[in-house]
Amino acid sequence: MQLPRLMTAEGDGCDIRVLVNPPLSPAKELEEKTEEFRGTPARAFLTVKNVGHFEVTEGSEITVTPQPGVTEFILGLWIVERAFLPLLYQRGLLALHASAVKVGDASILLLGPSGFGKSSLAAGLHSRGYRFMSDDITAVHPGKLEVLPGSPEMKLFPEMGSPLGYGEESLEAHPLLPQKRYYRRPHEFHSSALPLKAIYALSNGTEPKIELLQPQEAVLELIRSSYGILSLQGIIDSGIHFRQCSQIVKAVPSFRLNWFPSPSTLSAALEMIEESLRQRKNGMME
């Protein structure tokens, strides 16, 4: 089974086993929600309406029981974009709703809910010469304070891609998110882990500015930006999760970036990020 959106790994080692059962019966019907998680930190279950069941075990195995007629491509998308979430937590990683960009020999995180401009800012920094590492779901190793690379693409609204020079020919429709487009460039992707240099928590506002976050505020931003913090209740160990967020905040400076995502404000926001990085490099921002 070819998992879509991922790069082909070198070597013959098996990191995660994906087992696909024959379609036995229709997936459990959900009254309102498209997807539903349940389980424990070591063994998580995901049910997706009209797609199938996914069992994620101890960070090393995913077992899929599809509904009849579901293609491997669709199953693969749900594995990569949803079943990987409990798997990352099972491995002791944080799965953050964030985009990551390579800056020098380190990386920065752009945190925030959907619609706050994470992907647009990452794409904008990429257009200015920075390599991107992940988009939407970003894995962070709390102990090593490292950002792990994701898949070599960004999800963009077409109106944000156009001013960055991404023409329609470079944007691919997303089968699960029709309002967004994929920008895929494997040769412009940084594919190894990097130390985490700074965190930018995005906030909507009319006055563009960057301000340093106090540790308590930064921990709350990390918790709020943890992917599945509500849907994965019972699967995420809350005590471990809080300690991991605190561990990162103690070692990595965190900022709030206030801006209103739009093509007209993108350039100013990018300049603010670059200026804050220059100030930190020169020792001017504590």
* Residue 8 domain flag: no
For residues 84 and 98, state if they share a domain: no
Name the residue with tokens 């985490």. Answer: 196
Phi, psi (5° rounding) for residue 285? -120, 115
For residues 181 and 164, state if they share a domain: yes
Residue 284 has pLDDT above 60, yes or no: no
For residues 54 and 160, state if they share a domain: no
Residue 285 has pLDDT above 50, yes or no: no
For residues 68 and 159, state if they share a domain: no
Question: How confident is the model over 60-113, as pLDDT tens digits?
Answer: 999 999 998 899 989 998 999 899 999 999 999 999 999 999 999 999 999 998
For residues 141 and 231, state if they share a domain: yes
Angle of the 238-251 helix axis to the 215-224 helix axis, nearest 10:
130
Q: Among 90, 123, 147, identify where a domain stops.
A: 90
* Residue 243 domain flag: yes
Residue 171 has pLDDT above 70, yes or no: no
For residues 81 and 144, state if they share a domain: no
For residues 105 and 241, state if they share a domain: yes
* Residue 4 domain flag: no
Per-residue pLDDT averaged across 236-252, rounded? 96
Q: Among 50, 69, 90, identify where a domain stops.
A: 90
Other Cβ atoms less than 10 A from the Cβ of 224: the count is 14
What is the bridge-based pairing of β-strands 181-184 and 137-141? unpaired
* Residue 2 domain flag: no
Residue 128 has pLDDT above 80, yes or no: yes
* Residue 84 domain flag: yes
Is 0.85 topped by the overall pTM? yes
Averaging pLDDT over each range in 19-23, 105-109, 230-234, which range is the top one? 105-109
For residues 26 and 125, state if they share a domain: no
For residues 46 and 163, state if they share a domain: no
For residues 149 and 56, state if they share a domain: no
* Residue 5 domain flag: no
Domain span at 118: 94-281
Which CATH number is 236's domain given? 3.40.50
* Residue 71 domain flag: yes
Residue 81 CA to residue 74 CA, distance in Å, equals: 11
For residues 152 and 262, state if they share a domain: yes
Residue 187 CA to residue 60 CA, distance in Å, equals: 28
Q: Among 90, 113, 128, identify where a domain stops.
A: 90
* Residue 74 domain flag: yes
Report the domain count for the chain. 2
Burial of 144 (0-12, 13-18, 19+ CB in 10 A): exposed
State residue 193's pLDDT score.
96
For residues 240 and 111, state if they share a domain: yes
Residue 286 has pLDDT above 50, yes or no: no
Cα 169 to Cα 62, 153, 156, 158, 184: the distances in Å are 35, 15, 14, 11, 11
